[in-house]
Structure 1
């Protein structure tokens, strides 16, 4: 499996961003049907790109290399696209706000006012993502995932703010940040 197809990339990138995930979690995260995801995962495991431990999938080094090569090959032109780079610079301001709000929310044991500001920040990101989706149509799935988690928060389920084992707002944000950094070719610490 050298030179990933778009479908293979979507699934393996989902594993890359989630670190460890079941086929069902990946299907939901990347917008594909579970049988399609399972077929890609099985082929990738057979090609030593990932391993399976208790039903969860984890990329091996060759799998990570294949995902990073796809980013370089397919998204290379975006690394010098002024529209994308300007969007990312604006995102960093929103990202800083979000990180502060998450920390404040955690330190105040889920204060409603902080939570409200955090949700408004997420809604601002999802609105801004519409600027990128013509260039990166797969980012529509982030909008859908954020909306689903925000709905759960609005219904009173605070687990969907930051709980690490579900598709919480914080987890989706973290995955999106990793994804956009890979698209533009920047390491996480910049």
Structure 2
């Protein structure tokens, strides 16, 4: 599996991540990530500002080349079917996150109702359990997705331990953040565009 592809894709998905954030998402050690980033910076593909990395235009071009090569080696028919299966789980997660943020779809959830929040955490746990097998299947079709089961499980464990920010808080690897990144990966692997999925009500 290409460390270059893993690192560049993680930088794209996260926007301006630190080295440690990239390493955690990729399952690589920080030294390996640093090596890749140094090569990319020397080639004019990545920039670093205040300890955070970003893709330069040349880096985006390189990433597109790597992703195209990856797609060419995958079973697109099987991926398309797996993506259609994913859509139902994605819809369920979108509904769950909306309910976490809004009570009855209108009132901002101030999280003062512990029973209400506990019910949503239980729904998330059930969704996570149901999605294990489909996610393992996706990782079998596209090995680079093999980090997602652990990343989602780690976020869920923190939610269940009482740190509810790990359900949907942005800028950390919350359950919703990791799920969003997984969805982005699947869109890319199957040649779909988020704007078209959003128009069909399937973006999340």
Q: TM-score, normalised by structure 2?
A: 0.85
1:105-184 matched pairs, under 5 angstroms: 105-108=100-103, 109=109, 110=111, 111-184=117-190
Corresponding pairs, count: 185
Residues 159-189 of structure 1 show CA distances to partners (whole Å, capped at 9, x for unaligned) of 1101112110010001111111111111112
Q: CA RMSD in A?
A: 1.6
Q: For residues 153 and 133 of structure 2, what CA distance do their matches in structure 1 show? A: 11
1:130 counterpart SS class: helix
Kindly indicate whether the alpha-carbon contact (under 8 Å) linking 2:168 and 2:176 is maintained by their aligned counterparts in 1: yes
1:103 aligns with: 98
Kindly indicate whether the alpha-carbon contact (under 8 Å) linking 2:6 and 2:26 is maintained by their aligned counterparts in 1: yes
1:133 counterpart SS class: helix
Shift of 1:151: 0.7
Shift of 1:77: 4.7
Q: Does 1:55 align with 2:42?
A: no
Greater shift after overlay, 171-180 or 80-89?
80-89
Unpaired stretches in structure 2, ≥5 consecutive residues: 104-108, 112-116, 198-204
Give the alignment partner of residue 32 of structure 1, picking from 28, 32, 52.
Answer: 28
1:157 counterpart SS class: coil
Kindly indicate whether the alpha-carbon contact (under 8 Å) linking 1:76 and 1:183 is maintained by their aligned counterparts in 2: no
Q: For residues 56 and 129 of structure 2, what CA distance do their matches in structure 1 show? A: 35
Q: Does 1:84 align with 2:90?
A: no
Extract structure 1 runs of 4+ deviating beyond 4 A: none
